[in-house]
Amino acid sequence: MIVVTGAAGFIASCLVTRLNAANFNDIVVVDNFAVERKLANLKGKHLREYVDRNEFFDWLDQHHEEVEFIFHLGARTDTTEQDKAVFDLLNLDYSKKMWQACCQYQLPLVYASSAATYGSGTLGYSDDDALLPLLRPLNPYGDSKNDFDNWAVQQPEKPFFWAGLKFFNVYGPNEYHKGRMASVIFHAFEQIRQTGSMTLFRSHNPDYADGEQQRDFVYVKDLVEVCFFLMNNRQHSGIYNLGTGEARTFLDLTLNTFKALGRTADIRFRDTPEDIRDTYQYFTQADMSKLRSIGYTLPFTKLEDGIDDYVRNYLVPGQYL
């Protein structure tokens, strides 16, 4: 039995599909299932049981002997939310309780961290534990993820295997419900389809031209392959970056979205909204050497190929993974 939290969300629902593809069908999905717009992400999947996130720890007390692995991917991920109490409850405190349960019942754990922990990137993007206490995220979401990473590595008692994954800019199927927090590729697809053009944020940093802001965009299919690898190779606990190791510009992203749609490019710019302007990341690029050092050898999908697959096979027909 495998437990997946945040299971109706974007990344976790894609992981469930990957597990089903490998004939893991005894899956317990945990989430707030009252959010109806997310439920389509789980339609047609092979599942054992739905458990509300508020009832999960009581459920685990009763069923822990049947559980083989826990993927804790559930979190509040809104980078514009400023209420620290929300993140303390859903990200920090819930994750601590998950960690302690995995210690108590000796269950292996993979959990979602975030590249938001790196803040402005002034210290680089190394996943070396020594940097963790020095990182200064730019918003309460990043703080909550960094706070848990720091707490986890300091614990005298740990699950016999655990891994925290610092997701960079993830894109791909099953993010239809995410609204403003969906990937730029999703927003580009919607804008191009509706207006024939795409509007990007103007640069407010003299070191970057408009559209030349760079991020490490990672395809969700690659991300879940790493999760699958860690489930099957429970030897090297720690915190790992999960990007591609190659930063690409928003112009690259947008031009390839136009290309996948067979449209002529029409790119415009507007000021970055004031509520995120001061905390905007102009460059992210994962140092992937740590994950590679433990034996992960699969290649990461090139941005051009990932966008083409996502747009043609999922967004255009409105399909789920």
Q: What confidence tens digit (pLDDT) does each residue in 106-118 have?
A: 999 999 999 999 9
The reply, when asked if residue 73 is annotated as ligand binding, is yes
| Per-residue pLDDT, 81 | 60
| Per-residue pLDDT, 9 | 96
H runs (alpha helix) in the chain: 10-21, 56-63, 84-87, 94-105, 140-154, 184-195, 220-232, 250-261, 274-277, 289-293, 303-310
The reply, when asked if residue 35 is annotated as ligand binding, is no
**Looking at per-residue confidence, does 119 or 75 come out higher?**
119
Q: What is the pTM of this model?
A: 0.95
Per-residue pLDDT reduced to its tens digit, 16-61: 999 999 999 999 999 999 989 999 999 999 999 999 999 999 999 9
Q: Give the tokens for residue 80.
A: 């514009």
217/197 Cα distance (integer angstroms): 21
Task: Give the Cβ contact number of residue 183 at 10 Å.
Answer: 20
Q: Which residues are catalytic?
A: 141, 178
The reply, when asked if residue 145 is annotated as ligand binding, is yes
Mean pLDDT of the chain: 95
pLDDT category of residue 79 using cuts at 50, 70 and 90: low
The reply, when asked if residue 248 is annotated as ligand binding, is no
